[in-house]
Chain A
Amino acid sequence: MNCDWIRQRMDAYVDNELPEAEAAEFEAHMRSCAACANAALEQTRLKLATRTAGQRFTPPAEFLQRMEQNLRPQSAKPSWRLLRWPVALPVAMAAALLLAVLLIANFQHRRAAYAELADLHVTTLASANPVDVISEDRHTVKPWFAGRIPFTFDLPELKDTGFELSGGRVVYLQHSPGAQLLYTLRKHRLSVFIFQDGQAWPGMMTGASSELSFHMESWSHSGLRYVIVGDVSDADIHSLAELLRKVARQ
């Protein structure tokens, strides 16, 4: 045992990871070697100082409250009247978070790909910044994605359809980047997800389906997989799907 042996084990000693026998040898050496003892002292001081300095960020009280409400089992939840959502949060966000509670209570039984998209939809609605490009203009939203995702797509004209475009953002599903477009219909919000079709979608089927209270419709066109998720009727989702299919065929 020499100073090199000690230095090689310095981290493990300070982290209390050295086997008992080696720790005893380590300490015996330090009693006779001031340089190694000083090095251990310095390392310990740095570790303790890092521990304090690393505890730097405290979560906002509103965030903790929101998370606790989300994580609490359904039976223990307070009634609607007792829920104290932050005043600044819009009612839609509160509704979305309640939907999240319903969703997460049944996560175990959901198909992976649909479940992931429902997660993304709920997370988006609950977010303070749901979209990265905020615009009702399809000619603003579509170009924004250029260079951010490895494909392009067309968006439909929405005049007199009841649908409004709110904006979009880049999302990742199974490590693949894609587009999420947020639409509004009679105060309901719908997400349109567009990804490259392929092996990442083994569970995806073309057609309509539902995930708990959400309705979905999915189809594939020209190598792209489209999925619409929302809490409106199947017919409404189908209408938006038809608009998207029509513009994609043009």
Chain B
Amino acid sequence: MAEPTTDTGTFEELTLPLLARLYNLARWLTQDAVEAEELVQESCMKALRGFGSYRQGTNFSAWIYRIMRNTFLTSRAGLKHTTISLDDEESDVPEPATVGTPETALLASFDQQAIQGALEELPLHFREIILLCDVEEMSYQAISDALGIPIGTVMSRLSRARRAMRAQLAGMPNSPRPRSASR
């Protein structure tokens, strides 16, 4: 199983190495260069102010990502994504016919551009959980902390997000469109 992360240090020591990663995530969230810079800047200021509440030894990147996510979701750009659909957790994503059959064209589409395009098309809550798991390599526990959801929900959302991404890569016409984010 993934080892728990233990981060200790001053705010500066913990934050500076994460700036480029935070910016990357912010760009994926906002999909705008200027808004991403502002989001990281505002999030870091909020994180510094609340640094007293950070428990040394716990996962700092999950802690600061949670602040950035909340900052984004309460921003003008983020509010566009906060129309919660209660069906999101239950809704089933169409299963692409190609799953588990590596001889198909799906494998051939695993190029960088195709994956970036598929990520862009995913609903925000699917996009962010894939980024946290696959790009940030956060453990399920860290993702649970970052998103404020139980581990069981992390697993089920991740599973659906990956199915949705495969559907995008396979070019399924009924693949989900961007519409909402779960808090």
Secondary structure of the A contact surface, majority rule: helix
With the chains together, A53 CA to B119 CA distance in Å? 9
Least distance between B105 CB and chain A CB atoms (Å): 12
State the Cβ distance, B92 to closest chain A Cβ, in Å: 15
Q: Which of B10-47 contact A (CB under 8 A)?
A: 10-12, 15-16, 19-20, 23-24, 27-28, 34, 36-38, 40-42, 44-46
B54-62, B83-91, B130-138, B172-180: which lies at the interface? B130-138
- Please state if A11 and B27 are interface contacts (CB–CB under 8 Å): no
Q: Which residues of B contact A119 (CB under 8 A)?
A: 42, 45-46, 49
Q: Are A63 and B23 in contact (CB under 8 A)?
A: yes
Residues from 60 to 85 in B contacting A, C-beta threshold 8 Å? 74-76, 79
Contacts of A108 in B (CB 8 A): 49, 52
For chain A, residues 12 to 70, give those with C-beta under 8 angstroms from any C-beta of chain B.
12, 15-20, 35-36, 38-39, 41-43, 45-47, 49-60, 63-64, 67-68, 70
Partner of B112, one of A49, A126, A129: A49
- A48 CB to nearest chain B CB (Å): 8
Which residue of B has the minimal Cβ distance to A43?
A: B162
Do A71 and B15 contact each other (CB < 8 Å), given the known contacts A41-B102, A49-B115, A54-B135?
yes
Distance between Cα atoms of A170 and B80 in the complex (Å): 14
Count A-side interface residues using an 8 Å CB cutoff. Answer: 55
Residues in chain B near residue A11, CB distance under 8 A: 155, 158-159, 162
Question: Given the complex of chains A and B, what is the CA–CA distance between A55 and B135 in angstroms?
Answer: 7
Which residue of the partner chain, among A38, A63, A107, contacts B102 with CB atoms under 8 Å?
A: A38
Bound form: Cα–Cα A17–B142 in Å: 12
Q: Does B149 contact A (CB under 8 A)?
A: no
Q: How far is the CB of A85 from chain B (nearest CB, A)?
A: 15
Which residues of A lie under 8 Å from residue B75 when comparing CB positions? 172
**Once the chains bind, are A38 and B101 in contact (CB under 8 Å)?**
yes
Q: Which residues of A have CB within 8 Å of B15?
A: 71
Whether the Cβ atoms of A64 and B135 lie closer than 8 Å is: no
Cβ–Cβ < 8 Å partners of A38 in chain B: 100-102
